Structure 1
Amino acid sequence: MPLRLPERIAMCVVAAAFSVLNLLNKLLCTVPQPADVSRGEYVNRYGCWSDVVSLWNQRDLGAHVFPYVFGTYRGDPPVLGGGTVEYPTLTGVWVWFTALFAHSAASFLVVTGVVAALLAVVVTLALARIAGRRAWVFAATPPLALYAAYNWDLLPVACTVAGLLVMTAAPRSWPPLVRWAVTGFAFGVGGAFKLYPLMFLAALVLAAFLDRDLDLPGRLHRSLVALGTGVGAVLVANVPFMVVNFEGWLSVFQFQAGRPIGASTLSVWYYGLLPWSADLDGPFQDTMSMLATVSTGLGILVVLGVTVAIGVRTGRTPWIQSSAAMLCVYMVCNKVDSPQYVLWLLPFFVVLRLGGWWIAAYLVTDVALTTGFFRNGYYAAIGQTGDTWASQMMTAGIWVRAALLVVFVVVFLRTPVVRRPLADRTATGRRRADVSVDAPPAR
């Protein structure tokens, strides 16, 4: 059944409402706590922590210093300076720009939350165009209510969904080469906000070259176009800062490389390698960072290898499935698996025909993990340091989430893409042959 306008409007209203709920929760952390309550107790009791408020205070965003241009990474231990935040350039510029409209942590959070609500609506409409009623999975599940204003992750999510939309549901009047170019550009822009969409660019380029719907010169041409627009977007977003102040540009990567793997990272490396990982300043941190980097790289290469094998064997490359699988590898193997990363996964829950039980299992685990994390912090703040139901829930959530991500690497590669609603298809009711979305599942 085609998705009607009232249902689309309802989706958008729900997505915006959930985002506003998250904003209201995070605003609790912008006011002083009662005199007889510690800050840790207050923040964890209400679960109102957000990176938005934290960075406003820690990076002096109210000074409105343009990022990276005056950036430094100095001191002992080294700290970021000169208006730079610990994210790629487009996120840093976006943070600076939106901070211009704010005069306090609360107003900055409101600006960020309003933008997040608008992005949630745009992403919902795009997903509804791609997959119809399954867009409710994005609009009406807990992640928006928990994380919409937690960080700026909806920016790369919007870029990811834009790429998926162009390749699966662009108007027929768009020439095929334009769609490959725009999709590559969207993933490149996403990579300039947060690095992970660059994995999707790799899968897209493989599909452009391996899909046997064109002769070899045509496939080579479109793969170069997709790669060129994606890499071009990254270069445009980075090279000017590298030229003006290489130290400021590099400081982001130095900060992330030197970030210790602690309890707040919710990483399997920290919780799986206790008690050695508890020493945040010891040499074992370097070992964990190396393990995280190597396992992430190898996992991504394995997924790309499977993708190539399927593309060579069938002539149709499952690049969307491959993108989702690589994302799971990144989340489970990387040194940080922040709670809001579930927003990265949601679009793939929508556009791939993943069973409802899988989706429910992951989302319930995510809610349990977040609840346990904040409640465990609350108990620690009031001096209750023994084994509590909150610490047990948090630990179980970390390991169940990790297990689900590992399983999803295989499941995603075997899951077909959702077909667009009948009313949203082309007049002939058929897709263009040059769009690689209906690759057969892996065997």
Structure 2
Amino acid sequence: MTGAKALGGAVGLRAERAGVWFNPQPWVLLAGTVSYLVLMLRQLPCQLGASVYQAMCYSDILPLFYARGLADGKVPFLGADVEYPVLTGALMEVARRLTMLLGGRVGPDVPPAEIAQAAAIFVGVNALLLFVFFMLVLWAHLRLARPWDAMMIAVAPAVMTTGLINWDFMVLAFTALGVLAWSRKRPGWAGIWWGLGVAAKLYPLLLFVPLAVLCFRSGRLRAFWLALAGGAGSWVAVNLPIYLLSPSGWLYFWTFNVDRGADLGSIWYVFSLAGHPVADASGAQTWWMVVGTAAICLLLLLAPRRPRLSQGILLVLVLFLVVNKVYSPQYVLWLLPFVVLARPRWRDWLIWSIGEGLYFIAIWAHLDGALESGSGGQGLYLAAVLVRVGVQLWIAALVVRDILWPDLDPVRNPQWTSRHALAMPRLDDPDGGVLDGAQVAPWMRWAPWLR
């Protein structure tokens, strides 16, 4: 029996066709592929020798091929220091080996022309690998409660501008797979994916903070401990071998980031350019992270209704990105999925994207020196940083408002508008896994507003 017959003859045929047209998966994946093609086209000027700042197509991938010894055949961590966690270095090594399989030659005695050819292959291999990770991000979000929202990721300007600056699509994929596993009530697998994310870039570690608070509030601590155990296990599994083989190579990432001062894009860099440098940016960042995280935890714990997990994650990420010592342009990708999950409104997404886009333009103009000769001087760059910080805080403020007044939350109170103005049922936390519909834990009932 065909699907059309099962649905009821001609009516069923129309419904089956409508299901094809209104299935988000092909459209989201197609839109994501187009966005990625735009991203790759944007990289062409840099491959052809244009100024990386004027063409705004800078990528770490090509210069680090030379600077981190890959062109000489060195293995990250074992033969050369790399300022990234283990899995990012592993991806660099995988790309190097694939480059060699495709005919690229590397080594200290290889002629420069052949090294340049290998470098071009290396860039292409990385672009293909990162495209696979980007598709995984979209695939995971398509399987969450609001699959059409994945379109906001697929067509995001952040993808088309910053997607190939670094290897961040890998950590986005691990993070998204963890969110999907958690939503399907598989906390152990969620932790494993998030642990791999921490082994690629450090920021997924922050996800465990709101997770702990919300699991405590709802009496779901067993799920939290399973996730934490899975995360610790996967992180140790990929880090321990590198540490045993090369302790100094493994430690380089940590010492590099601890010793790093106020750098591009950070609020501390703004103070420095404005003539008011902060002597201890690391200490200031730590202080604000502790205070801000404590405030967020109190909000998640004492809000009139338990917040959604993605809301808590977004607040912690915004705090981290605002007070961090550096804000590389690709960091916008870290925030993108959780902007979509926590505040899925096209208007808000657009305003936030514009603010981030202005900073993207300003950073390259600043590095190129174009703002030095302009009438605005460095003031334009400082203004762009403040605009970026402002839109991030604005999104966070909207999420705080949704937490305090849940009727304003576009996920918990979705409106489906038609000629009859029908309303969808109110939801709790559709991607919250064991948190969705959970009652208040017995030990929280001392607070009257939590009953």
Normalised to the residue count of structure 1, the TM-score between the two structures is 0.78
- Tell me: CA distance 1:273–1:432, structure 2 relative to 1, closer, same or farther (3 Å): closer
- Is the deviation greater in 131-140 or in 406-415? 406-415
Relative contact order higher in (CA < 8 Å, ≥ 6 apart): 1
1:137 aligns with 2:152: yes
- Tell me: CA distance 1:135–1:433, structure 2 relative to 1, closer, same or farther (3 Å): closer
* Counterpart residue identity of residue 95, structure 1: M
Provide the residue aligned with 2:195 in structure 1. Answer: 188
C-alpha contact 2:69 2:75 (8 A) present in aligned 1: no
Deviations 1:227-286 (CA, angstroms, capped at 9, x unpaired): 111111222122222222221111111112222323xx2111111233546xxxxxx675
* Counterpart residue identity of residue 10, structure 1: W
Provide the residue aligned with 2:386 in structure 1. Answer: 399
Cα shift at 1:2: 7.5
Provide the residue aligned with 1:105 in structure 2. Answer: 119
C-alpha contact 2:339 2:349 (8 A) present in aligned 1: yes
- Tell me: CA distance 1:132–1:243, structure 2 relative to 1, closer, same or farther (3 Å): same
- Tell me: CA distance 1:180–1:29, structure 2 relative to 1, closer, same or farther (3 Å): same
What secondary structure does 1:150 align onto? coil
Cα distance between partner residues in 2 of 1:2 and 1:413: 36
Provide the residue aligned with 2:209 in structure 1. Answer: 202
Deviations 1:114-145 (CA, angstroms, capped at 9, x unpaired): 12222222212222222222211100121111
What secondary structure does 2:286 align onto? helix
1:48 aligns with 2:57: yes
Deviations 1:46-100 (CA, angstroms, capped at 9, x unpaired): 11211111211211212343322x3xxxxxxxxxxx3232111111111111121
Counterpart among 130, 137, 140 of residue 126 in structure 1: 140
What secondary structure does 1:46 align onto? coil
- Tell me: CA distance 1:117–1:208, structure 2 relative to 1, closer, same or farther (3 Å): same
1:357 aligns with 2:347: yes
- Tell me: CA distance 1:6–1:408, structure 2 relative to 1, closer, same or farther (3 Å): closer
Provide the residue aligned with 1:173 in structure 2. Answer: none
- Tell me: CA distance 1:66–1:235, structure 2 relative to 1, closer, same or farther (3 Å): same
* Counterpart residue identity of residue 45, structure 1: Q
- Tell me: CA distance 1:349–1:390, structure 2 relative to 1, closer, same or farther (3 Å): farther
Cα shift at 1:343: 1.0
Provide the residue aligned with 2:282 in structure 1. Answer: 289
Provide the residue aligned with 1:338 in structure 2. Answer: 328
- Tell me: CA distance 1:62–1:342, structure 2 relative to 1, closer, same or farther (3 Å): same
Cα shift at 1:180: 1.2
Provide the residue aligned with 1:16 in structure 2. Answer: 33
1:85 aligns with 2:102: no
Cα shift at 1:4: 4.8
C-alpha contact 2:137 2:173 (8 A) present in aligned 1: yes
Q: How many residues align?
A: 387
Cα distance between partner residues in 2 of 1:433 and 1:325: 16
- Tell me: CA distance 1:433–1:120, structure 2 relative to 1, closer, same or farther (3 Å): closer
Cα distance between partner residues in 1 of 2:431 and 2:136: 25
- Tell me: CA distance 1:201–1:301, structure 2 relative to 1, closer, same or farther (3 Å): same
* Counterpart residue identity of residue 52, structure 2: V
- Is the deviation greater in 4-13 or in 86-95? 4-13
* Counterpart residue identity of residue 191, structure 1: V
Provide the residue aligned with 2:365 in structure 1. Answer: 375
Cα shift at 1:389: 5.8
Cα distance between partner residues in 2 of 1:433 and 1:7: 21
C-alpha contact 1:19 1:116 (8 A) present in aligned 2: no
Cα distance between partner residues in 1 of 2:266 and 2:358: 16
1:303 aligns with 2:299: no
1:115 aligns with 2:129: yes
Cα shift at 1:299: 1.8
Provide the residue aligned with 2:244 in structure 1. Answer: 243
After TM superposition, which residue ranges in structure 1, 4 or more long, deviate above 6 angstroms? 419-422, 430-433
- Tell me: CA distance 1:306–1:433, structure 2 relative to 1, closer, same or farther (3 Å): closer
Cα distance between partner residues in 2 of 1:47 and 1:137: 23
Cα distance between partner residues in 1 of 2:38 and 2:327: 23
What secondary structure does 2:434 align onto? coil
What secondary structure does 2:46 align onto? helix
Normalised to the residue count of structure 2, the TM-score between the two structures is 0.77
Cα shift at 1:421: 12
Which ranges in structure 1 are unaligned for 5 or more consecutive residues? Answer: 34-41, 71-81, 171-175, 213-218, 278-283, 423-429
C-alpha contact 1:127 1:350 (8 A) present in aligned 2: no
Cα distance between partner residues in 1 of 2:177 and 2:415: 18
Provide the residue aligned with 1:260 in structure 2. Answer: 261
* Counterpart residue identity of residue 70, structure 2: L
Cα shift at 1:372: 2.3
Deviations 1:403-436 (CA, angstroms, capped at 9, x unpaired): 22223334324444737999xxxxxxx9799622
Cα distance between partner residues in 1 of 2:341 and 2:73: 39
- Tell me: CA distance 1:417–1:190, structure 2 relative to 1, closer, same or farther (3 Å): farther
Cα distance between partner residues in 1 of 2:242 and 2:164: 27
Identical residues among aligned pairs (%): 25
- Tell me: CA distance 1:24–1:18, structure 2 relative to 1, closer, same or farther (3 Å): same
C-alpha contact 2:149 2:344 (8 A) present in aligned 1: no
C-alpha contact 2:314 2:342 (8 A) present in aligned 1: no
Cα shift at 1:18: 1.6
What secondary structure does 1:100 align onto? helix
